[in-house]
Structure formats: C-alpha cells, structure tokens
C-alpha cells in the first residue's frame, strides 16, 4: 500500500485531493511548506523571547525562582500560541482526554514521545512544569538561554537529574519527563529508563501517565521535517488515572530493585494502552 493510501486509511480525510496522484503530490508539497513555516515561526518566537523578553524578566526578578516561574509561564503561553497556530494552518488536529488532571500542582507527569509536537502540547497544558530535557537543548543556539532560565533539568547525568527532579516535587512544583529519554522509534516504544521510577520512589509522588498517539505519524525520531503525511496528523493525548506508587510493592524494596520493577510495570502499562488505542 502506498504511503498516501496508508495516510487516507488512518485519517479518512482529504480524500478529494489525495486520491488523485498529482494533486496528492501538490498537496503534500503545500503541507511541507506549512510545516517549514511553523518551524520559522517557532524560531522567530524563540529569538524574540531570547533577545527582548528574557532580559526584562531578569531585570525585574530578584530571585532565581521568580525568573524560573516567569519564564516557564512565558513558555507555556508561547506554546499555547504555537499549538493554536499549527491547528489553524491545518498541520495537526488535537484531542485531549482527561486534560483536567494536569491542572493540579506538584504532579509527576510521564509521557511517551512519538512526535516532536507532543512536547509543545503538554507544556501548553501546564502553566508550571519543570521539564527534564536532552542536553542538546542546552546547547541549541535559539533555545539554550530560555532552557537555562526556565530551570529545566538536563538528562545527561542521572544522579543529579534524579536529585533535582525529586527536589522540584518536594517544593510543590510539577515535573514533566519522557521515560524513553528521546522520541520513540517508529511504530513502538523505546526502552524506558529508570529515572522516572527513581524520582517517584524518592518523592513518594504518584505517576500521572499521558498516553500519546499521532496518526498518521509525523516529526518522528530521525524523520526529516519535510517528510510530511498527505493529510492532517491527529494527535491524541490521554491523561490516565494516577498510578499510586506508595501502594506498590516496589515502594517497599531497595531503590534499585524497586525502580527496576516500577519501570517495567510503567512500560507495560504504556504498551497496553497504546495497543488498546489502535
């Protein structure tokens, strides 16, 4: 089956265009242009925040915690705008289930990571979130100062990352991380790392899982930005009931053994949820 046909089978949309081969190619080119436009808008927005807004926030903020809180709120609103922009120009459709569970303070949110877009949508739904990020974000020219000013936690050193994430939760702040550590391989989950489980066990916080699907797939790991589907990608984010860590046997074992058991259980939970959503 051609990719166009696969996209149509998944989405059921854009049929009048994509059933005609030359129109399908033209339409895909138009979608690639809009995707490129979205990246340009993101880059321009990041530059404006970096050059114009961050210096003002630092100037009026006496405490480091004030800087982080204001920058995180700024990112939240910027991502809300960017999500609206992507929806408006027809790049994505978004469905939320259980979004109200993200409104609580001091929650530990864990999500799978099928596409680059899910980061934007999650942060747009959480006015305050300490995020665990790849070290590449700290080195990226456009976003490195924003990432550092927001107090985001790099994932390159496990023990400092776990300590910082645990302390964040103890202070009543929310924490967002992706147990895979990077975007998922095509069509499946990557192996979960134990950081989320160790933070949950140390902090005593419940895990709030967010199961994310994107159909047809777009902006996957290793996928060029211009390799776009023939129709609008539908992103579904399902915020599941919290997983009570303290009620599990893993909470009463040594940390290493408990983290291993909880990580395996968490990955199985996501695999079952993703299988059920297909």
Q: How many domains, in total, are found in the chain?
A: 1
pLDDT score recorded for residue 7: 45
Asked if the model's pLDDT at residue 179 lies above 70, the reply is yes
**CB proximity list for 100: less than 8 A, separation 6 or greater:** 239
Burial class (CB in 10 A: 0-12, 13-18, 19+), 54: buried
CATH of the domain at 88: 3.40.1130
Pairing of strands 207-215, 233-239: antiparallel
Q: Which residue has the higher pLDDT, 28 or 235?
A: 235
Write the pLDDT tens digit of every residue in 101-124: 999 999 999 999 999 999 999 999
Contact of 179 with 263, CB cutoff 8 Å: yes
First to last CA, the chain: 18
Domain containing 135 equals 3-277
- What value does the mean pLDDT take over residues 195-209? 96
pLDDT digits (tens, 9 = 90+) for 46-101: 999 999 999 999 999 999 999 999 999 999 999 999 999 999 999 999 999 999 99
What percent of the chain is predicted at pLDDT more than 70? Answer: 92
Using alpha carbons only, give the angle 150, 151, 152 rounded to the nearest 5 degrees. 95
pLDDT at position 5 is: 41
pLDDT band at 19 (very low <50, low <70, confident <90, very high): low
Q: What value, to the nearest 5°, has the Cα angle with vertex 216 and ends 213 and 217?
A: 70
Comparing 132-136, 221-225, 237-241, 254-258, the range with the smallest average pLDDT is 132-136
Mean pLDDT estimate for the chain = 90
Report the pLDDT value the prediction gives residue 26, as an integer from 0 to 100.
83
Q: In which band, very low, low, confident or very high, does the pLDDT at 233 lie, cut at 50, 70 and 90? A: very high
| Token pair recorded at residue 107 | 């929650």
Q: Per the structure block, which two tokens stand in for 168?
A: 């964040």
Task: Answer for the pair 202, 137: CB distance below 8 angstroms, yes or no.
Answer: no
Answer for the pair 179, 268: CB distance below 8 angstroms, yes or no.
Answer: no
* Contacts made by residues 43-51, CB under 8 angstroms, sequence distance 24+: 43/142, 45/78, 45/81, 45/82, 46/142, 46/143, 46/146, 47/142, 49/74, 49/78, 49/146, 50/142, 50/143, 50/145, 50/146
Question: Hey, CA dihedral for 79, 272, 269, 179, is it positive or negative?
Answer: negative
Residue 40: pLDDT band by 50, 70, 90 thresholds? very high
User: How far is residue 16's CA from residue 28's CA, in Å, rounded to a whole number?
Assistant: 14
Residue 10: predicted pLDDT: 45
pLDDT band at 6 (very low <50, low <70, confident <90, very high): very low
> What is the per-residue pLDDT for 278?
77
In this prediction, residues 22-30 reach a mean pLDDT of 80
| pLDDT band with cut points at 50, 70 and 90 for residue 139 | confident
Tell me the C-alpha distance between 125 and 132, whole Å.
16
Q: Which of the four pLDDT bands, split at 50, 70 and 90, describes residue 11?
A: very low
Single pTM value for the model: 0.90
């Amino acid at each position: 089956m051609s990719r166009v046909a696969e996209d149509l089978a998944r989405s059921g949309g854009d049929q009048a265009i994509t059933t005609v081969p030359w129109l399908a190619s033209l339409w895909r080119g138009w979608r690639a242009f809009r995707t490129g436009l979205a990246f340009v808008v993101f880059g321009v927005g990041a530059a404006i925040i970096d050059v114009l807004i961050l210096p003002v926030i630092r100037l009026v903020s006496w405490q480091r915690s004030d800087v982080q809180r204001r920058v995180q709120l700024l990112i939240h609103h910027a991502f809300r705008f960017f999500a609206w922009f992507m929806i408006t120009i027809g790049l994505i459709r978004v469905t939320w289930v259980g979004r109200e569970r993200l409104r609580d303070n001091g929650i530990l949110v864990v999500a799978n990571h099928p596409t680059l877009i899910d980061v934007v949508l999650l942060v747009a739904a959480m006015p305050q979130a300490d995020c665990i990020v790849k070290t590449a974000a700290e080195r990226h020219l456009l976003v490195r100062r924003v990432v550092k000013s927001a107090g985001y936690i790099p994932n390159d050193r496990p023990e400092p990352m776990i300590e910082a994430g645990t302390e964040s939760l103890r202070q009543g702040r929310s924490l967002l991380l992706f147990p895979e550590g990077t975007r998922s391989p095509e069509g499946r989950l990557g192996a979960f790392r134990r950081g989320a489980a160790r933070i949950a066990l140390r902090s005593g916080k419940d895990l709030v899982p967010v199961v994310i699907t994107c159909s047809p797939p777009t902006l996957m790991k290793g996928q060029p930005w211009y390799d776009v589907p023939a129709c609008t990608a539908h992103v579904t984010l399902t915020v599941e009931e919290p997983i009570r860590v303290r009620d599990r046997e893993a909470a009463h074992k040594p940390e290493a053994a408990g983290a291993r058991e909880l990580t395996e259980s968490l990955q199985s939970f996501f695999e079952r949820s993703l299988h059920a959503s297909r």
